[in-house]
Each structure stands twice: as C-alpha cells, then as structure tokens.
C-alpha cells in the first residue's frame, strides 16, 4: 500500500528530529489528493513545528518521487482527541477514556466509550462499565482519546 511506503520514508526524518509520526493518510479531497501527516513530540507540536516539518517532508518526498500523483501536504498535531493506532499508544494511553468505533456491529452497536485497558494478543482492551471488551484490531475503524469523559 502506498501509505506504508510513505511512512517508511517519512518516519526516519521525523524521528531524527525527536518527533513521532502518529498518523499518515492519503485521501481524495474533491479533485485533488491530500497527504495528511500527523506528528507529535514531547511538549506538543507548535505551528512553527508544522511549518518546519512541512518543508522538510515536502522536500524529501519531492526528491524521492514517492508520491505518484499531485497532492497537497498537510502537517498537523494530533490534537487533544488524538487518534490511537499503534500498539505502543494503546499501552501508553492505558487508563485514559476512549471512544471506539467499529467497522461492524458488536453487541448490537458500533460505538463504545470506556477506559482503555491496554493491548494484548492483537486486541484492544476497553472497560465499558463492569465489562472489559476485547476488540480485534482489524474490526476497529477508529479509537480516539475521549477528553469529554475526563472532565
């Protein structure tokens, strides 16, 4: 898949700058393609960081011809309701409240809120009330931090 190739190219540059590649998507936005790169670092990503990384990533991608179509590059921070995708982040944010959206119904619904309990054997563990549910990664559409539940 093209995004995996792009991650392999971009991640070393980002890590060299003591930041983390949180997410990368290539989506069609009307008549054009948009490459969205979400970054984070200790203390958070500023607007200046976004501009800096945009220049660096754009130059790198242009020099390697990694994107085979014309695109617009968007670099941003993950925000307070950050998406959680990587195994290490399921562990890192264990104990935080999350919103889980599944690709298909489970127990009659697709959306769940609860406390993230970690990651084990390819499954995301979420305490919903008294019950801890195990969601297989392929069944998950999205997991996000739920700051509203923390207030």
List the structure tokens of 70: 């014309």
What is the percent of the chain where pLDDT is above 70? 97
Domain 2-76 carries which CATH code? 3.30.300.70
Kindly report the average pLDDT of the chain as a whole number.
91
CA 132 → CA 99, 116, 119, 137, 142, distances in Å? 14, 9, 12, 15, 18
> DSSP states of 56-123 as a string?
HHHHHHHHHT--SS-EEEEEE---TT-B--SHHHHHHTTTSEEEEEEEEEETTEEEEEEEEEEEETTE
Residue ranges of domains in the chain = 2-76, 87-150
Q: What is the Cβ-side half-sphere exposure of residue 3, based on CA atoms within 13 angstroms? A: 13
- Look at residue 150 in the predicted model and tell me its pLDDT: 61
pLDDT tens sequence across 22-40? 999 998 888 889 999 999 9
CATH class assigned to 87-150: mainly beta
Return d(Cα 37, Cα 74) in angstroms, integer.
6
- pTM of structure: 0.77
Return d(Cα 97, Cα 60) in angstroms, integer.
37
pLDDT tens sequence across 76-104? 999 888 889 889 899 999 999 999 999 99
Residue 74: pLDDT above 60? yes
pLDDT tens sequence across 125-147? 999 989 999 999 999 999 999 97
Task: Categorize the per-residue pLDDT at 49 as very low, low, confident or very high, splitting at 50, 70 and 90.
Answer: very high
Residue 149: pLDDT above 80? no
Q: What is the CA radius of gyration of the chain?
A: 17
């Amino acid at each position: 898949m093209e995004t995996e190739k792009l991650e392999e190219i971009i991640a070393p540059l980002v890590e060299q700058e003591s930041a983390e590649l949180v997410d990368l998507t290539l989506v069609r936005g009307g008549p054009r393609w948009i490459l969205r790169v979400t970054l984070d670092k200790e203390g958070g990503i500023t607007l200046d960081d976004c501009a800096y990384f945009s220049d660096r990533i754009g130059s790198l991608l242009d020099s390697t011809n990694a994107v085979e179509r014309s695109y617009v590059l968007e670099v941003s921070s993950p925000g307070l309701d950050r998406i959680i995708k990587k195994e290490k982040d399921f562990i890192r944010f264990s104990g935080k409240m999350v919103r889980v959206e599944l690709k298909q119904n489970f127990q009659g619904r697709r959306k769940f809120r609860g406390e993230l309990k970690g990651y084990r054997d390819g499954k995301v563990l979420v305490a919903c009330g008294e019950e801890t549910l195990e969601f297989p990664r392929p069944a998950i559409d999205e997991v996000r931090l739920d700051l509203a539940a923390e207030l």
